[in-house]
A = this chain, B = another copy of it.
Amino acid sequence: MARVLPDQLHAFCVEAMRKAGMRERDTRTTADVLVTTDTWGITTHGTKSLRQYLTRVRAGGLSPLAVPEVVREGPSWAVVDGHDAIAMVSSCAGMELAVRKAAAAGVAYVGVKNSCHFGAAGYYAMIAARHDMIGLAMSNADPNMVVPGGKGKIVGNNPFAYAVPAGAERPLMLDIALSAVAAGKIHAATTLGKRTIPENWLVDADGLPTSDPDMYPLRACLVPMAGHKGYGLALLVEVLAAVLSGAGVTREVKSWMLDDPSKPTFHGAAFLAVDVGALMPIGEFKARMDRMIREVRGAPKAKGSERIYLPGEMEWERRDEALRCGMELPPDVIASLVGLAEDWGLDARWVQ
């Protein structure tokens, strides 16, 4: 398999988006989000998705020239209408606005409506961390998860991320979905030919636990992480990202992959920023972060374990490696990039 350089991949994505009629600045913003996500090793949420986003652009469900607009605002908050821009554009705009508001007020919330699938939430949280702020980013999703006592798809496994700046240490960053496992893990089990998965990953059509990965996605659905806890947290994300922003809520949100690409998906997103330096001298905060990080990393290891990772640490190491010597993209990502090239008349020989 060829190793792909991040810059090469970035240029390819920019070119595809140019052909789809997006503004130069927006193509770069979107490519930054998707390629960075790949360098973190989160290839389920990186450039693999661009083909489908641009299919939605071509069909009219996403708007290539839309400019996200602030529709209401106050000292420490704003609501942005994404106008069905590709969600990387409206989400970066949302967190950048939260950062500006927090710089003035200390803490800020920005809700975005008329968004779409925004990829890896962690990228937006990291925008805040690069400004020495604590960042939180979250989005709702079309329902794909059961809730305790129910059956079928009731709420989304809403993505949630945070990032916190540190000093000599690298930022903490956690980027999770609120299901017990991501759909990708179940597809991976199927691809590897596994006949069984743990009983707490899926429920069947009766809402009862199943260990058969082949039931997914047609006859089974995801379960919330930690049962009622993940269910409750998914509803909190639904409130902050959608009920409060004016976006679609639960069933009003459409699948960016499966539903009509000529229609909007009505996703909502939320971005919070806390300007650490307003509350505490930034050097003191960073020293306190470094101390906590080192204490956790230095704790005794479990039998058979060589290392304790801090949230984000695996991503930073994968990115170092990707920037140094390129990355090996998995076959599903390559297939999607080849399809993207076909769709928009680009040369994909470099990736094959």
Verify A149–B301 contact, CB threshold 8 A: yes
A239 at the interface (CB under 8 A from B): yes
Residues of chain A in range 300-337 having any CB-CB distance to chain B below 8 Å: 300-311
- How many angstroms between the C-alpha atoms of A180 and B180 in the bound complex? 12
The dominant DSSP class at the A interface is mixed
- Chain B residue at smallest Cβ distance from A287: B243
A207 at the interface (CB under 8 A from B): yes
- How many angstroms between the C-alpha atoms of A250 and B225 in the bound complex? 24
Q: In the complex, what residues of B have CB within 8 A of residue A149's CB?
A: 301-302, 305-309
Verify A296–B155 contact, CB threshold 8 A: yes
A60 at the interface (CB under 8 A from B): no
Binds B, one of A21-29, A44-52, A272-280: A272-280
Verify A274–B105 contact, CB threshold 8 A: no
Verify B295–A250 contact, CB threshold 8 A: yes
Q: In the complex, what residues of B have CB within 8 A of residue A283's CB?
A: none
A172 at the interface (CB under 8 A from B): yes
Q: Which residue from B155, B229, B295, B301 sits with its C-beta under 8 Å from A225?
A: B229
Verify A174–B233 contact, CB threshold 8 A: yes
A-B contact sample (11 more), CB < 8 A, given A75-B76, A76-B106, A250-B296: A150-B302, A151-B299, A151-B303, A152-B300, A172-B236, A174-B229, A174-B233, A207-B305, A208-B304, A225-B229, A231-B311
